[in-house]
Structure 1
Amino acid sequence: MCNKYIWLAAVSAIFMTASTSSIASETIKPVAAYQAPLASKVLLTDLANFDNQFLTAVGERGHILRSTDGSHWQQAQVPVQANLSAVMFIDKQHGWAVGHDATILSTSDSGTSWQIQQFLPNLDKPLFDVYFRNQNQGIAVGAYGMFYRTNDGGSTWQPEFHAELLSEDDQDYLLELQETDAQAYAIEQGVILPHFNRVFADGNLLYMVGEAGFAAKSTDFGQTWQRLEAFYNGSMFDIARTPEMNLLAVGLRGHAFRSVDQGNSWQEIALPNHATVNSIVTDAAGHIYLLGNAGSFLISQDDGESFSDHSLADGKAIVSGLVWQDKLILVTEIGIKTINLSELN
């Protein structure tokens, strides 16, 4: 089964260069997500935990689910049916979710209800991740280098194009187009950058990974980026710190890489299967869990130097997950699954 980025990425080649100030397209109006009794048993793509007080899961058709115990889930009121790909909370009340049609949703009531901050169905591009460092400053990233920033809590979102993430040849090519063919230049901006799949905040640093071996870091909250030396030519879907503060990056066809020098060099890790890895989860005991397609579920007890295979028998894709109290809560292509940590360790 494909990973969530392929599920959500029905993308076009046209990039919207004008700034957007929230709310919906004038030509295609949003339709509220249906209240579905089985919403917790269909494709879900991301999960957020705020301070062990509540869980929020997002997924296809605008489904957003909330739980205070990890077992019982209530569907929130959501004003769009766009497939959603990521969710985060900055405090108990305020959260954001992003997804297809460059959708950005916000909540100010702990995820009970959601409002549209951006909805651009004519753009037909998915956002894949969102990160806020405080209640006002946030970024959202997605397909073909799509990058939006807000400094007012999402009341307005401004698109950015980060040419420093291109090769020197591509930068020269774009500069020539800008001088000779403005229309072609605008179109090319929308396809020349790779997909930005995941943003990882590490103190004052941001790391970002994506398509075709793309990896970069920023020291100024994404105002400028330094592209890392390529260490793999396939797509990467997650990056995280290990318990011993090394870096781990994972992606397509069971590829995983570990860096002990802040991303300056990477060593490939031999995994016990070749399923695409979608997410990295760690727990307080120092275990690392890799979650992936075909039920792939791998565990490391040595800071990511090696992994053992505990893949789920049903073979269904695990898209993301997190540790909740004494359980591992997973979001999968068939909804929520729960694994007791005591059964694994």
Structure 2
Amino acid sequence: MRQLIAYLVCIAVAAIVTLAFTPREGASVGETALNTDRMQINGLLNLGKRQVAVGERGTILISDDRGHAWRQASVEPRRQISLTAITALSAGQLIAVGQDGLILRSSDEGSSWHEVRYEPEAGEPLLGVWAAGGDQVFVFGSYGKFYQSDDAGQSWQVLALEVDRSHLNAMDGGSDGRRMLVGEQGLVLRSADNGQHWQQLPTFYNGSLFGVVRLSSQRWVTYGMRGHVFVTDDFGEQWQAIKVGNTQPLYGHVLLPDNGGVLIVGAGSSMVRLDGQGHLLGTSRQPGLGTLTSAVVVEGDQVLVAGERGVYQGSGNSVAVLGKGEQRHETR
């Protein structure tokens, strides 16, 4: 049963579908232009001039024109297993994670990747990755798996957390040492000393939490199943539910520029926008995009969203527009 739950959680976080994707052989990365509208994308990263996406069957895509055209990155070895998340460190160093404990590393802004960890015998997914600054980075996932690297992902050490083998889905933090980690069954952990010690907070929600985002040292937002969104103004001592009027699961987010708050995306093409204080600005849907897993802001206020149907860049996808279409306040 636990193995089944792990599999379902991975599907929920990434909304994986069985759409065909076969890498082209005999063509270099620069020669291969790809249509992404039939690819499941689970993680999206903006590096300024470059965007990087990861997803089904080991797919890693890069774009150097703000998401208009994509090409396939070089991955060695290329495994046909889903990648679930990606993050950036410094000096072009990136880390991506996926099923079977897979960890990939790039030192050239995503153009080429090599494998640094792989555990196929366990068959358990890594679900998230978070860069703490400098060369420190964490990856985490099913059954409480939690690894730390202090050399930009070249080597990893296992960290033990008292979470009763719960799945860990997302992490965020700041330079002041305050961090939060969320997971299944309403699990929320916090640390005030750069992760040396973790405290499990009292459960305020029994469903899975798929994301957490820091708005300030005191103000944090977490979200997950059935459209539930919660905000705290005291570093997790108390949480308030935000009535977004959405029962679709929420899977990913992007912090908006100039303290513009956060945009949260999820199933049913749903979008929830909060301001910098964690107050609801509105909800909307982008018809025809299916499940959304991630979003980034490029070129000022242009938003790229990604998920079940690849990466989407529409003419109306701006910070000024998204999240202000169908403001509703009813909830369950």
TM-score (structure 2 length as normaliser): 0.81
Q: Any idea what SS the aligned residue of 2:143 has?
A: helix
Say if 1:9 and 1:125, in contact at 8 Å, map to a contact too.
Answer: no
Instruction: Work out which of the two has the higher radius of gyration on C-alpha atoms and give 1 or 2.
Output: 1
Say if 2:85 and 2:127, in contact at 8 Å, map to a contact too.
Answer: yes
Establish whether residue 67 from structure 1 lines up as the match of residue 63 from structure 2: yes
Q: Distance in 2 between matches of 1:232 and 1:83?
A: 29
Question: Unaligned stretches of 5+ in structure 2?
Answer: 1-7, 17-21, 25-31, 325-332
Say if 1:39 and 1:63, in contact at 8 Å, map to a contact too.
Answer: no
Counterpart of 1:337, as a letter, is Y
Say if 1:103 and 1:116, in contact at 8 Å, map to a contact too.
Answer: yes
Say if 2:231 and 2:242, in contact at 8 Å, map to a contact too.
Answer: yes
Query: Alpha carbons of 1:264 and 1:245: their partners in 2 closer, same or farther (altered >3 Å)?
Result: closer
Corresponding position of 1:83: 82
Establish whether residue 155 from structure 1 lines up as the match of residue 154 from structure 2: yes
Establish whether residue 202 from structure 1 lines up as the match of residue 198 from structure 2: no
Q: Which has the higher helix share?
A: 1
CA shift, 1:261, in A, is: 0.9
Residue of 179, 193, 210 corresponding to 2:165? 193
CA shift, 1:198, in A, is: 0.4
CA shift, 1:235, in A, is: 0.5
Map residues 29-108 of structure 1 onto 2, 5 A cutoff.
34-35=23-24, 37-39=34-36, 41-50=38-47, 52-70=48-66, 71-78=68-75, 79=77, 80-108=79-107
Which ranges of 4 or more aligned residues in structure 1 deviate by more than 4 Å?
2-5, 7-10, 342-345
Say if 1:8 and 1:100, in contact at 8 Å, map to a contact too.
Answer: no
Counterpart of 2:64, as a letter, is T
Q: Distance in 2 between matches of 1:89 and 1:69?
A: 19
How many residues in Structure 1 have an aligned counterpart in Structure 2?
294
Say if 1:44 and 1:332, in contact at 8 Å, map to a contact too.
Answer: yes
Q: Which has the higher contact order (CA 8 A, sep 6+)?
A: 1
Corresponding position of 2:12: 6
Q: Percent same amino acid at aligned positions?
A: 30
- Deviations along 1:230-288, one digit per CA (max 9) or x if unpaired, are 11111001111237962111010011111111111001111121111112323225243
Compute the RMSD of aligned alpha carbons.
2.5
Q: Distance in 1 between matches of 2:217 and 2:157?
A: 37
Q: Distance in 2 between matches of 1:254 and 1:8?
A: 16
Residue of 190, 195, 205 corresponding to 1:222? 195
Say if 1:212 and 1:232, in contact at 8 Å, map to a contact too.
Answer: yes
Question: Unaligned stretches of 5+ in structure 1?
Answer: 11-32, 166-191
Per mean C-alpha deviation after superposition, the further-off stretch among 214-223 and 115-124 is 214-223
Corresponding position of 2:250: 277
Q: Any idea what SS the aligned residue of 2:57 has?
A: helix
Residue of 293, 313, 334 corresponding to 2:309? 334
CA shift, 1:156, in A, is: 2.4
